[in-house]
Amino acid sequence: GENVEQHPSTLSVQEGDSAVIKCTYSDSASNYFPWYKQELGKRPQLIIDIRSNVGEKKDQRIAVTLNKTAKHFSLHITETQPEDSAVYFCAASNTGTASKLTFGTGTRLQVTL
């Protein structure tokens, strides 16, 4: 089955700096890669996703890149703000079988003033 590894487990950046979280996946059949943000005590919320036919996607201050050959995908947050502080999860899925998302282990991002 699919295995998703996520690094780092914790990340501290100063306000205004950029943050990068990286994930690798094992199943070459995976073709959908979402990123979720989870604030303390809340449900995971989808913030951005990318499909395997696209190499990069951007939405304001967040972007995701995908390298299918290396089976890597990354989340980039620019101009970080205190409200970006949360736990971020990457995930992977094969939309053909579509039975689950396989999640990474999460990254706790802290944005300091």
Partner 1 sequence: EAQVTQNPRYLITVTGKKLTVTCSQNMNHEYMSWYRQDPGLGLRQIYYSMNVEVTDKGDVPEGYKVSRKEKRNFPLILESPSPNQTSLYFCASGPFQRPMEKLFFGSGTQLSVL
> Which residues bind to partner 1, rule: CB under 8 A?
1, 4, 6, 9, 32, 34, 42-46, 49, 89, 93, 95, 98-101, 103-106
- Residue 46 or 54: the one with the smaller Cβ distance to partner 1 is 46
Q: What are phi and psi of 63, to 5 degrees?
A: -145, 155
Closest CB 24 distance from partner 1, rounded Å: 14
Q: How far is the CB of 40 from partner 1 (least distance, A)?
A: 11
For residues 2 and 84, which CB has a smaller minimum distance to partner 1 in the complex?
2
Cα radius of gyration (the chain): 14
CA 18: distance to chain centroid?
A: 14
The answer to whether 52 touches 40, Cβ cutoff 8 Å, is no
CA 70, chain centre distance (Å): 16
Nearer to partner 1, 40 or 113 (CB): 40
What's the Cα-to-Cα distance from 93 to each of 12, 42, 69, rounded to whole Å?
Answer: 29, 23, 16
Q: Please, what is the minimum distance in Å from the beta carbon of residue 14 to partner 1?
A: 26
Task: In whole angstroms, give the CA distance from residue 34 to residue 113.
Answer: 28
State the nearest-atom distance from the C-beta of 6 to partner 1, in Å: 8
Nearer to partner 1, 72 or 113 (CB): 72
